[in-house]
Amino acid sequence: MELKSYQQDVLNDLRTYFDYLTTMQDPAKAFDTYWEERLGPYNPITRKGMRPYLKTIPKAVHLCVKVPTAGGKTFIACNALKVIFDRMPKEDPKVVVWLVPWSNLLDQTVNSLSDPNHPYRQKINTLFNHRVDVYDKNKLLQGASFNPGVVREQLSIIVMSFASLRARNKDDRKVYQENGQLASFVDQLTDKEHVLENTDESALINIIRSFNPVVVVDESHNAESDLSVEMLKALNPSYILDLTATPKENSNIVSMVSAMKLKKEHMVKLPIIAYNHREKTEVIDSALHLRQSLEQMAIAEQKAGGKYIRPIVLFQAQPKTGEENTTFEKLKALLIKAKIPEEQIKIKTATINELKGVDLLSPDCQVRYIITVNALKEGWDCPFAYILASLADRSSAVDVEQIVGRVLRQPYVTAHKQTLLNMSYVLTASLKFENTLQNIIQGLQAAGFSEKDYRAENKVTPEDIAQAKEKEIQKELFAESTETTADDIDPEKITFDPEEISEQPAPGVSTTIEEIIGLAHEESEKTEEQMKNLRANPTDPIFTEMADKVVFYPMRADVEAHAKAVILPKFYLKIPSGGLLEGMNENIEVNKNALLEGFRLVKKDTEINFEALATEVYKIDIESGATTESYRPTASKIKKGDARNLLMEHILSRPKSNQVKDIAHMLRKHLGDLSPVSEQDVTKYLTKVLEDMSTEEFTEILNRELLFGRILKQKIQGFMDEYAEKQFGDYLETGKIFMKPVWKFPEQIVPGMVGPSIVRSLYEKEGSVNNFEHKIILEVASMDNVAFWHRNLGRGKGFAINGFKSNHYPDFIILTQSGNLIVLETKGDDRDNSDSQAKVRLGNTWAIRAGQKFKYYMVFEKNSIDGAYTWDRFKELMEGL
């Protein structure tokens, strides 16, 4: 299971924040500077910008990641643990407390993190050298496989519920009680400052506190009360990572994933098609017909090479108080009367759980209908759930807020050729449909989406509402507002017959189904247009998610028309024939990963230059300063007997195969992201590098781990760059890569830190510049032939030349009066390196392929490289353009 691009962006955001933290050694300063660079300074009057860091938990770095429902929060957290622990002293114990709000989510998290076949556990095993153990509260209280030696050797993940830590009566909580099973930890601890008042030092809470654990808070919007803050303080954490789709006001958001990014990556079935019927009988009939149509589409898709999908309907009702069993059994009986096989129907309520032990994703599973109320609202996500059919009382707004997110997850996180399989559906029969829509919107917002992510159709007329009110007066039909029974559903009006299945994926037999499918097709076209716009102008999610906090700078009116006429081309890769993407009239924007198809690292040479290694060994550690909120890096030689030396002795005492495995894992963390190269290929290559080395060479590596890792990373990156550039050239020559005009100047920008005002800028404010950039653009802007200039923005905000290099964001874009479009990259004379040479090759290729009016220049002040220019030579050329 590999990271999606937006998930990788989250990890990159975390790394960027930690870079600031390493420099500034203060969580608040790092956070504030991180956002100033991105959004500009915070204005307390207008509340523009990100408000300052809030120090809720003393001594802890407290960050929040916003990810909508179905965005893979848990998988992001698994990868984020590596990012966090890489910033911590290596000798510190790797202990994580993973907090969840509900008991069913507790079981789900423990199971997924413990199962060696689950992608979450597989990823953690890869990141932490298979030295991982997962504990629940009971396992810890018994001391099972939990002792100081084990904790030193592995990553220990402790999964606990909020309730086990934040109840007011501590005497009732076993984690606060004396525990002889944990006495071995007490013997190891000389510092007792971590011991809570009025608790025994052997209590589990004190043992956890002694580790200064990393705390992951899942669904952290449920952890905002005073009790929850007390809960977090009690854990004595070093880092806290909040995961939520709906951050609260006091969250220190470090990264944010937009709903559009999830749609782009096919993580969710959006938009939602909401259709309001006149009667509840129609809701059932439509749900049955629509589900059958979707299944026929899924069968056709599978025959064409797609994966197995079995669409499921969630029937939602509000039961009679005290008569739950009767109510649900009546609805089940009604479905059986409609010829639905009983094995296809399951009930899941607060007291009935027929889904226990059922693998809904298995092709052998027959379940196609689930009857529930809100019992699925907490931590339940089945990608085969497509239709939410609410049978709530017609006189009330249908409350789907708590359950609408359960139909959003996209099967196999891929786009399906059958467009209706890329959406989800809510069917209702409400006389207060506008209120129902608000509940749908609130449900979407609770899942991290917006009011733009649905399409509604209401078939209830004012006459229907008047007639219903008349019946209410006459028969007191709606006397019990919470009642939902099957009594007011007419089985005789249900036209569905499961035995009448068309061989073709027909659009349904009723006008209603045809209307729903028609709406879905319309929305599919709109979504595709949104995706095209996103690909052409990728937008930082913070701008759309928190627009009220962002300062936008528009184009200047006198150059706006010129700018809007400009479209910059990018490189695109033709989709190969065959497969699910064929025929979708979509080509893939070229990126380095796409060019690395077929790359095998294990086949590359393993010659390593030991002479490049330094002679002194240093360690970088983070030590507490004079105050609890300050951090100070220190450097010192490794001394005999310290934790690092003991680790070396331990590794070198093991058999050769274990030495290779341990050192390979140590080096892997210095290599960073090598996608799309598989972890298996990386491991094989590292093993190949190490397996013929001697003990003396292993000692050399262990003494110079950081430097050796850097050299190894540079060597591997060189292999990848060489392969990607060769592929790029071959694809251009054979026509597999072509240019497509797609990128337009956005109507307004958010530069973050703004630069000085210089004439002829495209926007009212441009981004900040360094001294050399300022010198160049000041002189360029004064030239009479310049129509406008723009400080191109990086980090996904501006124009990137794509290709065999990871996106190359040039510094400036300039339009001349004669219509020449100049893309300018500036380099100080100390920046002459292989990266510059690769960029100038890519930039010059882009200009040649883009056409005569497009120019690319890399400009050095005095000392140039092949394909680039000095400042004086560029000025001469610029004046003639």
What's the rounded mean pLDDT across residues 505-529? 69
- Crossing angle of helices 27-39 and 5-24, in 10° steps, is 130
The four Cα atoms 116, 119, 120, 122 give a dihedral, to 10 degrees, of 50
Count other C-beta atoms under 10 Å from residue 801's C-beta: 23
Percent of residues, the chain, with pLDDT higher than 90? 34
Highest mean pLDDT among 133-142, 223-232, 736-745: 736-745
Kindly list the distances between the CA atom of residue 354 and the CA atoms of 4, 315, 587, 761, in Å, as whole numbers in the listed order.
Answer: 34, 14, 45, 65
Residue among 147, 136, 223 at smallest CA distance from 174: 136
Measured CA to CA, the distance from residue 677 to residue 186 in angstroms comes to 44
Upstream peptide bond of 271 is cis (omega within 30 degrees of 0): yes
**Does position 420 have pLDDT exceeding 60, yes or no?**
yes
Q: Band the pLDDT of 505: cuts 50, 70, 90.
A: very low
Q: For residues 702 and 372, give the distance between their C-alpha atoms in angstroms, rounded to a whole number.
A: 58
Alpha-carbon distance 595 to 602, whole Å?
Answer: 18
Which residue do the tokens 């649905």 mark? 454
What pLDDT does 622 receive?
Answer: 33
Render pLDDT for 870-880 as a digit per residue (tens, 0 to 9). Answer: 999 999 999 88
**Residue 825 confidence (pLDDT) above 80:** yes
Handedness of CA 555, 556, 561, 567 (dihedral sign): negative
**Euclidean distance between CA atoms 640 and 638, whole angstroms:** 7
What are the tokens at 470? 């008349």
Interior CA angle at 201 toward 200 and 202, to 5°?
A: 90
DSSP 8-state symbol, 279: S
What pLDDT sits at residue 197? Answer: 85
Residue 722 backbone dihedrals phi, psi, to 5 degrees: -60, -45
Q: Considering only residues 696 and 387, tell me which one the structure prediction assigns the higher pLDDT.
A: 387
Helix (H, G, I), strand (E, B) or coil at 386: strand
- Summarised one tens digit per residue, pLDDT across range 548-595 is 778 889 999 999 999 999 999 999 998 765 543 444 445 788 888 889
- Of the given ranges (89-93, 142-146, 431-435, 747-751), which has the lowest mean pLDDT? 431-435
pLDDT for res 477: 42
pLDDT of 661 reads 86
378 burial level (CB within 10 Å; 0-12, 13-18, 19+): middle
Helix (H) and strand (E) counts for the chain? 28, 26
φ and ψ at 61, to 5 degrees?
A: -85, 115
DSSP for 731-743, written as a single string: HHHHTSEEEEEEE
The pLDDT, as a whole number, for residue 443 is 65
pLDDT at 288 over 60: yes
Q: What is the pLDDT of residue 259?
A: 77
User: What is the token pair recorded at 644?
Assistant: 């690092």
CB 157 within 8 A of CB 113: yes
Widest pairwise Cα distance in the chain: 95
pLDDT recorded at residue 242: 94
- Judge contact between 360 and 384, C-beta under 8 A: yes
Q: Is the pLDDT of residue 487 over 70?
A: no
For residue 881, name the pLDDT band (cuts at 50, 70, 90).
confident
Calculate mean pLDDT across residues 44-69: 90
Assigned token pair, 746: 């956005």
Q: Per-residue confidence at 460, pLDDT binned at 50, 70, 90?
A: low
| Per-residue pLDDT band at 659 (split at 50, 70, 90) | confident
Of 210-219, 239-248, 527-536, which gets the smallest average pLDDT?
A: 527-536
Comparison of pLDDT for 473 and 204, the residue scoring more: 204
| Amino acid identity at 271 | P
Average pLDDT over residues 693-719: 84
pLDDT score recorded for residue 761: 96
Give the mean pLDDT of 82-94: 86
Q: Residue 132: which pLDDT band, with cuts at 50, 70 and 90?
A: very high
Domain ranges of the chain: 52-258, 261-533, 601-723, 740-879
CATH class of 740-879: alpha beta
Domain spanning 52-258: which CATH class is it, in words? alpha beta
Contacts of 369 (CB under 8 A, 6+ apart): 291, 312, 313, 315, 335, 340, 344, 345, 346
Helices (H), 270-358: 280-303, 324-337
Q: What are phi and psi for residue 813, nearest 5 degrees?
A: -125, 130
Q: Which CATH class is domain 261-533?
A: alpha beta
Identical fold at 52-258 and 261-533?
Answer: yes
Residues 6+ apart with CB under 8 A from 573: 587, 588, 589, 590, 594, 731, 736, 737
Whether the predicted pLDDT of 453 surpasses 70: no
Cβ-proximal residues to 830 (8 Å cutoff; 6+ apart), any chain = none
Q: What's residue 617's pLDDT?
A: 32
pLDDT score, position 680: 85
